[in-house]
Amino acid sequence: METNLPVNLGRTAMLDVAGIKVILTESCQTPNDPGYFALHGIDLTRIGLLCVKAKNHFRAAFTPLTCAIIEIDAPGPASPNIRHYTYRHAPRALYPLGG
């Protein structure tokens, strides 16, 4: 999706806590490109489980690298379950979202 587009992550750091690697970025950017991991020396072909905090656009880059994508419904404004939101002003035509 963002092939050859520059992205400013700000300062980044990779923490390794008991073998679990966590990449932190100064700016809030969705990891839509495997290059985010290569930047920190992580070879995704050697990873058994990859967790990405993202909404949807990561799929274009990561689906070819995976055997499965498992969505996690975490609290917050970006739930994949639309029933978690209150649609007070949605027109009835948007059923099942509206009224």
What is the DSSP code string of 81-99?
A: -GGGS--SS--GGGTTS--
**Helix, strand or coil for residue 64?**
helix
pLDDT of res. 50: 87
CA nearest 74: which of 96, 51, 48?
A: 51
pLDDT of res. 88: 79
Report pLDDT digits (tens) over 17-53. Answer: 998 999 999 988 888 888 888 989 999 888 888 888 7
Q: Rounded mean pLDDT of 8-24?
A: 91
Question: Taking the alpha carbons of 74, 79, 80, 83 in that order, is the dihedral positive or negative?
Answer: positive
Q: Rounded mean pLDDT of 64-82?
A: 80
Residue 14 near residue 23, CB atoms below 8 Å: yes
Percent of the chain at pLDDT > 70 equals 92
